[in-house]
A and B are shown apart, each in its own frame.
Chain A
Amino acid sequence: MTTVVQQDLPAAVWGLDKNHSTATFSLKYMVSTFRTGFEQFDVTLDTTGDQPRLSGSVDPSSIAVKDENFHAHLQSPDFFDTERHPAITFESTGWRLDGDELVVDGNLTIKGDTRPIEARGTLTPASEDPWGNTRVGITLEAVVDRTHFGLNWNNPLPKGGLALANDVRLHVDLQLVKA
């Protein structure tokens, strides 16, 4: 794990390398972990101010699942309600290092509900890529309770308990390129 202190980030606005970045999530479903992600999302890192500001937006209709009926259910009011809430957004409010860990605080908005979250991960120092661009790597992870954002669907299991967990682990691997 490699980290750098904040001032090692050159002042710039950084755009997302969409081909080499992922936004995924996982949660317990019955006996295993369901894991998938979103195809369409964008992130900007602005290091021109007092502290870096990370902002992102995800199109929930771009969720990657194999079955068309499952995909349709996930777009419905039972889940993301993409008709009324076409974007999931994040705006950072804090940025610090905790030992080797990068800690980013911010406001996450899903289905119109905005809640503060803390995301932890790593910051890989700025370096030159083969094409002369400067890029940094950011990995962040946070756990949120989906029911705090109105994603309340569940199904009781025949012998008791519920099929789907409430805690969802969000994970992003971002490559950001200096403009």
Chain B
Amino acid sequence: MKVLGISGSLRRDSHNTKLLRAAAALLPPGAELELWEGLKAVPPYDADDDTGEPRPWILRSLADAIEEADVVLFSTPEYNHSLPGQLKNALDWLSRPLASSPLRNKPVAVVGASTGLFGAVWAQAELRKVLGAIGARVIDRELPVGLADDAFTAEGRLADDEQELVLADLLAELVGELEPA
């Protein structure tokens, strides 16, 4: 099973990308995480540029990565109480046209990290709302990792055992969404 990880942060040493790597180590057996790292190259959404196929290669890469994945895990920082513009911009591309979005019915979950106390909790809520509007199957869970400068061990794991448990549980729920009861 393939879990696609998309970080909402472009920064080289991004805490959110670290959080995705930490998640990779906690996936249930048989699942593997693949990071999609093309976010910075996504052009601004402009309906005048969206006149039909083919779209720019980076958008095809993103759509293909989502289509090939079984589930998608987003990790988002928080900019001004919301998700970063570049991530929202990529989602806006993916939402057009809505009925054939690769995110449609795709199980997705959202986590987030920030250097402040609140761990991007509002950005996570906003991102879940956007993903729901696009038609994804959104897991109604969150993982706010605050004080992110000190949140990871040298090996890249979450330093807080309880956070690690929550993340593992969230991932199990995400993967479990593929096989509803």
Contact = CB atoms under 8 A, between A and B. Distances in A.
Contact of A72 (B99, B136, B137): B99
Contacts of B134: 76
A69 B136 contact: no
Q: How large is the interface on B (under 10, 10 to 19, 20 to 34, 35 or more residues)?
A: 10 to 19
Contacts of B137: 77, 81
A77 B136 contact: yes
B132 A72 contact: no
A68 B108 CA distance: 23
A68 B97 contact: yes
B135 interface: yes
B99 A78 contact: no
A72 B180 CA distance: 22
B135 A78 contact: yes
Contacts, number: 37
Contacts of A69: 97-99
Interface of A: 68-69, 71-73, 75-78, 81, 83-84, 153
Interface string B83-127: 000000000000001110000110000000000000000000000
Contacts of A68: 97-99
B98 A77 contact: no
Contacts of A153: 132
A72 B59 CA distance: 21
Given A68-B97, A68-B99, A69-B99, A75 B135 contact: yes
Contacts of A77: 105, 132, 135-138
B133 interface: yes
Contacts of A84: 180
A78 B132 contact: yes
